[in-house]
């Protein structure tokens, strides 16, 4: 008779089993929303805002997302041009600078014209009469200096307000305070020369015509009448 007990020859089990290795999760990748291609084309055309990649092997250029969002927000605001009055539109209070009047009175919506002047509020009636006599548009957007502010404070505060409310395409003036107020609000500025204001306006004409091509394609600004 054969024995009833079989010898177990399997290796002994370890008292501590080896840990089971779990597969590593795939690496996380950050996705970036892709702006609409039309907006990208317009953005590049108007602002050329881009930033290079830090890795040379990747694409040559990357859209600066923050700048793009700022540009799109600005694009949805009403376009505007800010203009000083004395020594910019006229001399000796009511003597018009002809090329200035000729160009700016052609402006029409969607562009609006904002008159930002150092003239005190007491001159409102005379100032409105001058603008209306020259057939200037948007006379309701006249911003005179209150008695409790200096002219610099007035222009800086208004320029900041304009920058928030409008897409200010250009600020035009003859004085240092006009330039400082514009630059503080990140608004492009064009300086009118005290010695030759008419010549300054002739030089500024192509720039204004380019603005008109974008916003007033059916009514180009004419340098002469």
Angle 197-202-205 from CA coordinates, rounded to 5°? 125
Domains with residue ranges and CATH for the chain? 37-74 (no CATH), 77-215 (3.40.50.1000)
Residue 57: the pLDDT is 47
Q: What six digits make up the tokens of 139?
A: 């006379």
Residue 89 CA to residue 104 CA, distance in Å, equals 9
Residue 13 CA to residue 31 CA, distance in Å, equals 49
Residue 100 CA to residue 93 CA, distance in Å, equals 15
Tokens 């923050």, located at residue: 66
pLDDT band at 53 (very low <50, low <70, confident <90, very high): very low
Phi, psi angles (nearest 5°) of residue 44: -65, -40
Across 97-101, 111-115, 121-125, 215-219, least confident range: 215-219
What element of type H or E holds 112? Answer: strand 112-120
Q: What is the mean pLDDT of residues 91-111?
A: 97
Residue 224: the pLDDT is 75
Closest of 23, 17, 72, 79 to residue 49, by C-alpha: 72
For the purposes of burial, counting CB atoms within 10 Å of the CB of 23, is it exposed (0-12), middle (13-18) or buried (19 or more)?
exposed
Residue 45: the pLDDT is 46
| Percentage of the chain exceeding pLDDT 90 | 62
Closest of 31, 74, 54 to residue 167, by C-alpha: 74
The model carries a pTM of 0.70
Residue 61 CA to residue 64 CA, distance in Å, equals 9
């Amino acid at each position: 008779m054969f024995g009833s007990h079989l010898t177990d020859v399997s290796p002994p089990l370890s008292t501590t089993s080896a840990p089971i290795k779990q597969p590593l999760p795939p690496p996380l990748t950050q996705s970036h929303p892709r702006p609409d291609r039309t907006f990208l084309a317009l953005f590049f055309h108007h602002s050329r805002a881009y930033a290079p990649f830090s890795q040379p092997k990747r694409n040559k250029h990357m859209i600066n997302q923050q700048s793009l969002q700022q540009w799109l927000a600005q694009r949805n605001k009403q376009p505007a041009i800010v203009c000083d009055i004395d020594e910019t539109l006229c001399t000796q209070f009511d003597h018009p600078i002809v090329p200035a009047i000729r160009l700016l009175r052609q402006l029409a919506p969607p562009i609006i014209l904002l008159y930002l002047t150092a003239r005190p509020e007491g001159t409102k009636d005379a100032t409105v009469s001058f603008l209306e006599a020259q057939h200037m548009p948007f006379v309701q957007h006249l911003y005179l200096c209150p008695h409790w502010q200096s002219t610099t404070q007035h222009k800086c505060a208004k320029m900041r307000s304009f920058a928030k409310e409008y897409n200010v395409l250009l600020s035009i003036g003859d004085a240092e305070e006009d330039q400082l107020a514009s630059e503080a609000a990140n608004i492009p500025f064009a300086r009118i020369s005290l010695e030759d204001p008419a010549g300054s306006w002739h030089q500024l004409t192509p720039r204004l015509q380019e603005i008109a091509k974008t916003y007033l394609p059916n009514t180009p600004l004419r340098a002469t009448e």
